[in-house]
């Protein structure tokens, strides 16, 4: 009995040694992560691509294989991350806030306790593009028009509703609301099937370039004045913003266009392993200058601004890095 026990123990120890040495061990195993983004002509999609590129370039160091998925946007991404269908997602700061508090699309489900913040990204502007021939110069002119307010699952859907409501426009009664995806909106506008569309997006974006470069002349409609003052006061996540007109040569406007904005944020679930989150944060923050060259919308990013605009608790993997770097106390 004694000897049998010894042999068994030996086998166990040797097995452990072999497992540790083999290439298939925990150390050498590749971890697969997918980032939920948005439509391919938005800024989330290239942002997911930029994060994945930096991580995948150092595959030997991190053992992470990162891929990107085009999705319906913020709300879809948050829900997919919480359901465990995606490891990471990009989501508007206002939608992160609402998920954490159990508001808007999460009203019935309640506060989403497993949502974790990783960092924030580029600013996004609530962008309203309208056809010149539709005679839409102000929000009030939208009455009776066919307007794309955003697909279910997108960030912009609620932003469009908030903006319209702040101007006393009922989206169900006063306009002909469409809920098409942002990637389809420029084509619908150019084809004369809609008069205007809302898109909450960083600038420049492929979708807005497409909308402003077609044969049908379009203009950005300013979102400003007393209703916007009230909107910014009412909701903590809206701030005033500007659409830089120089990025869109084809637009009818010649000056920067005032609007409201939020921030893009990078989120995950409490269930994502700390070392995976730590590796991604470290790669992006240690090489922020290189990251910033990957899209013009990242120009304003700094390591400290990227910790702002977040409502969910930091993921422990992100927190560890931020504390090491003194970015967080
Ligand atoms: N803000 C949009 C959303 O949450 C996506 C913008 C983008 O894809 O860049 O749905």
pLDDT digits (tens, 9 = 90+) for 267-307: 999 999 999 999 999 999 999 999 999 999 999 999 999 99
37 Cα: distance to centroid of ligand 1 (angstroms) = 7
pLDDT of residue 20: 42
110 φψ region: left (φ > 0), alpha (ψ -120 to 50), beta (else): left
Return the pLDDT at 2. Answer: 53
* Residue partners of 76: CB distance under 8 A and separation at least 6: 36, 153, 154
Q: Which atom of ligand 1 is nearest to the CA of 43?
A: 9
The ligand 1 atom at the shortest distance from the C-alpha of residue 74 is 4
Degrees to nearest 5, angle at CA 288 with 284 and 290 = 100
Tell me what pLDDT residue 171 has.
98
- Ligand 1 centroid, distance to 165 Cα (angstroms): 21
Cα–Cα distance for residue pair 234/239, rounded to 1 Å: 11
CB under 8 Å to 308, separation ≥6 — which residues?
120, 263
| CA terminus-to-terminus distance, the chain | 57
pLDDT digits (tens, 9 = 90+) for 167-215: 999 999 999 999 999 999 999 999 999 999 999 999 999 999 999 999 9
Phi, psi of 25 (to 5 degrees): -75, 170
Report which secondary-structure segment, H or E, holds 69: strand 64-69
Last residue of a domain, one of 212, 239, 262: 262
**20 inside domain:** no
Distance, CA 42 to ligand 1 centroid (Å)? Answer: 6
- Residues 167 and 243 both lie in one domain: yes
pLDDT of the residue at 5: 55
Can you say how many angstroms the Cα of residue 179 is from the centroid of all Cα atoms in its chain?
19
User: Three-state SS across 277-327?
Assistant: HHHHHHHHHHCHHHHHCCCHHHCCCCCCHHHCCCCCCECHHHHHHHHHCCC
Based on the fold, state whether residues 146 and 111 are members of the same structural domain: no
Residue having the nearest C-alpha atom to atom 6 of ligand 1: 201
Residue 181 falls inside a structural domain: yes
DSSP character for 119?
E
Indicate yes or no: pTM above 0.75. yes
Query: What is the spatial distance between Cα 78 and Cα 89, in angstroms, rounded to a whole number?
Result: 6
Task: Quote the ligand 1 centre to 150 CA distance (angstroms).
Answer: 10
Residues 254 and 269 grouped into a single domain: no
Tokens standing for residue 282: 């470290």
Protein residues whose CB sits closer than 6 Å to any atom of ligand 1: 38-39, 42-44, 73-74, 92, 124, 154-156, 200-202
Q: Last residue of some domain: 215, 233, 262?
A: 262
Give the model's pLDDT for residue 21. 42
- The answer to whether residue 6 is domain-embedded is no
Angle CA(168)–CA(74)–CA(188) in degrees, nearest 5? 65
Q: Output the CA 43–ligand 1 centroid distance in Å.
A: 7
User: Pairing relation of β-strands 257-269 and 239-243?
Assistant: antiparallel
What is the Å distance from ligand 1's center to 265 Cα? Answer: 10
> Is position 4 within any domain?
no
User: Is there a single domain that holds both residue 61 and residue 170?
Assistant: no
Structure tokens at 17: 């040694």
The predicted structure's pLDDT at residue 17: 43
What pLDDT score was predicted for residue 1? 45
* Confidence at residue 3, expressed as pLDDT on a 0 to 100 scale: 57
* 161 and 173 belong to one structural domain: yes
Q: 257: how many CB neighbours lie within 10 A of its CB?
A: 21
Pure H helices in the chain = 2-21, 44-57, 59-62, 74-83, 93-101, 156-166, 185-190, 206-212, 226-234, 274-286, 288-292, 316-324
Rounded to the nearest angstrom, the distance between the alpha carbon of 62 and the centre of ligand 1 is: 28
Q: Which of 238, 262, 286 is the last residue of a domain?
A: 262
Report the distance separating Cα 4 and Cα 2, nearest Å: 5
Kindly state whether residues 223 and 291 are assigned to the same domain. no
Q: Pick out the chain residues at pLDDT < 70.
A: 1-28
149 and 227 share one domain: yes
Q: To test ligand 1's pocket by mutation, which of 42, 72, 159 has the most ligand atoms within 8 angstroms of CB?
A: 42
Look at the chain and report how many structural domains it folds into. 2
Residues contacting 16, CB < 8 A, separation 6+: none
pLDDT value for 24: 42
Ligand 1 atom 2, closest CA: 155
Do 137 and 231 have their domain in common? yes
Atom of ligand 1 nearest to the CA of 37: 8
Within a domain: residue 12?
no
| pLDDT for the residue numbered 28 | 65
Residue 39 covered by a domain: yes
Residue 70 tokens read as 């085009």
- Same domain assignment for residues 90 and 156: no
Q: What is the CATH number of the domain that holds 217?
A: 3.40.190.10
Based on the fold, state whether residues 163 and 279 are members of the same structural domain: no
Closest CA to 96 of 221, 316, 230, 269: 269
C-alpha of residue 278 to centroid of ligand 1, in Å: 25
Q: In this structure, what token pair is assigned to residue 306? A: 């990227």
Residue among 41, 44, 45 whose CB has most ligand 1 atoms within 8 A, to mutate: 44
Q: For residue 135, is it within any domain? A: yes
Does residue 119 share a domain with residue 34? yes
- The pLDDT value recorded for residue 18 is 42
Token pair for residue 221? 């409609």
* Ligand 1 centroid to residue 280 C-alpha, Å: 21
Containing domain of residue 101, as a range?
25-123+264-324
User: Does 258 map to a domain?
Assistant: yes
Regarding whether 211 and 174 lie in a shared domain, the answer is yes
Pocket test for ligand 1, best of 36, 38, 198 (most atoms within 8 A of CB): 38
To test ligand 1's pocket by mutation, which of 68, 80, 121, 155 has the most ligand atoms within 8 angstroms of CB?
A: 155
């Amino acid at each position: 009995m004694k000897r049998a026990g010894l042999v068994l123990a030996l086998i166990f120890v040797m097995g452990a040694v072999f497992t540790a040495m083999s290439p298939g061990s925990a150390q050498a195993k590749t971890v697969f992560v997918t980032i939920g983004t948005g439509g391919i002509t938005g800024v989330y999609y290239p942002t997911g691509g930029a994060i994945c590129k930096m991580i995948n370039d150092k595959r030997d160091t991190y053992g992470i294989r990162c891929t990107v998925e085009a999705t319906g946007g913020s709300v879809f991404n948050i829900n997919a991350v919480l359901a465990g269908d995606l490891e990471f997602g990009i989501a508007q700061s206002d939608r992160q806030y609402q998920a954490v508090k159990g508001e808007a699309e999460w009203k019935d489900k309640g506060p989403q306790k497993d949502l974790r913040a990783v960092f924030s990204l580029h600013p996004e502007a609530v962008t309203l593009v309208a056809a010149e021939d539709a005679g839409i110069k102000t929000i009030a002119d939208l009455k009776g028009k066919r307007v794309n307010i955003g697909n279910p699952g997108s960030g912009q859907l609620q932003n469009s509703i908030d903006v319209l409501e702040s101007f006393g426009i009922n989206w169900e009664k006063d306009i002909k609301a469409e809920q098409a995806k942002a990637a389809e909106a420029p084509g619908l506008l150019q084809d004369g099937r809609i008069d205007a569309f809302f898109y909450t997006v960083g600038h420049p974006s492929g979708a807005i370039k497409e909308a402003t470069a077609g044969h049908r002349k379009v203009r950005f409609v300013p979102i400003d004045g007393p209703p916007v003052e009230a909107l910014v006061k009412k909701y903590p996540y809206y701030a005033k913003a500007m659409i830089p007109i120089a990025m869109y040569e084809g637009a009818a406007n010649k000056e920067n266009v005032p609007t409201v904005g939020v921030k893009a944020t990078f989120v995950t679930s409490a269930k994502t392993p700390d070392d995976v989150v730590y590796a991604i944060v470290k790669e992006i923050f240690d090489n922020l200058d290189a990251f910033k060259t990957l899209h013009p919308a990242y120009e304003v990013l700094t390591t400290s601004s990227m910790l702002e605009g977040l409502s969910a608790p930091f993921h422990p993997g992100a927190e560890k890095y931020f504390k090491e770097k003194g970015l967080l106390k």
